[in-house]
Amino acid sequence: MSPVLDESEWDVVYSDGACKGNGQVGSVAGVGVWWGHDDPRNVAERCPGDQTNNRAELIAIVRVLETTPHSKKPLLIKTDSKYSIQCFEDWLPGWIRNGWRTSNNEPVKNVGVIKYLAALLDTRARRGQKVRLQYVKGHVGITGNEGADRQANLGAQDPPMKERDWAKLEVELRKCLENELRTADDKPDTVLPEVGSGEGTESPAKVRKITSTSKPTSSNSVVQPLKPSSRSAPQMSAVPVSPPPGVVHSPRSAAPPPTAADLDDYANCLLDDDDLAADLSD
């Protein structure tokens, strides 16, 4: 997939994960989201659960989708993680066919995060928003990538964050989307609700947002998870998810896995084969 050349029609954001001591005992990981200098949407958080680079990269993309309201304007997420891109560009259809096992019959690593991220992407596609994952080379002076990297390193300094229930989040998100689409079919003029418009939201404990890559806010400043009535993000519709912005928690039910047709909607991203081995270090 060729890169987007004219970005004027896209919302562009950078994501990154950082892990100190990756693959070793005592490793520490953080996730970063960067929209621009002093942008209130910038995020710096500790990676929940296992502390690895690949998980942090995936969760950084999750946090973009959880904290960004939906819009008809396409969303371009730039990442230096070829692993993350290849998960959705090359491997996901085969994993689904094989019952979430690799070609070597090994369990897929980070499967919970990947399934939930797939549900987030699928939700965007079904609600009419195109999302592209695009590779950028890391640590070569690209402002957005350097900003996201700094955010991730700042997040790694936060206290440990407990693991999130990725399977539950996926089921609830798909169930909520199902209900919304059914309502929209019954009432064509119905406007689908924003993220966090339901009850029982689950969020990472406390989220610290760093609003600048050059001059972070005080390390003691803490932002509580946003409530639906107080969203300060751009005026765009959003999907039900379960991060700081809040999520709609529907009763747990057996939601069908994404189909091959679903995959076509969100597998529209760029894969560059340089440096893939560096990203597969988990």
- DSSP character for 51? -
Structural domains in the chain (count):
1
Residue 66 belongs to a domain: yes
pLDDT along the chain (282 residues), means of 10: 90 98 97 98 98 98 98 97 96 96 96 98 95 97 98 98 98 94 70 41 48 41 34 35 38 46 46 45 46
What is the reported pLDDT for 257? 57
19, 48 Cβ separation under 8 angstroms = no
Residue 24 belongs to a domain: yes
* Residue keyed to tokens 């039910």: 253
Residue 14 belongs to a domain: yes
Single pTM value for the model: 0.71
The domain of 75 spans 9-164+206-226+259-279
125, 131 Cβ separation under 8 angstroms = yes
Query: 113: domain CATH number?
Result: 3.30.420.10
What is the reported pLDDT for 221? 33
* Residue keyed to tokens 């008809």: 72
What is the reported pLDDT for 197? 34
Return the bridge partners of 79, or none.
Answer: 135
Can you say how many angstroms the Cα of residue 127 is from the centroid of all Cα atoms in its chain?
17
What is the reported pLDDT for 226? 33
Residue 244 belongs to a domain: no
Residue 246 belongs to a domain: no
Residue 189 belongs to a domain: no
Residue 247 belongs to a domain: no
Residue 239 belongs to a domain: no
What is the reported pLDDT for 227? 36
Pair of tokens at residue 257? 């896995």
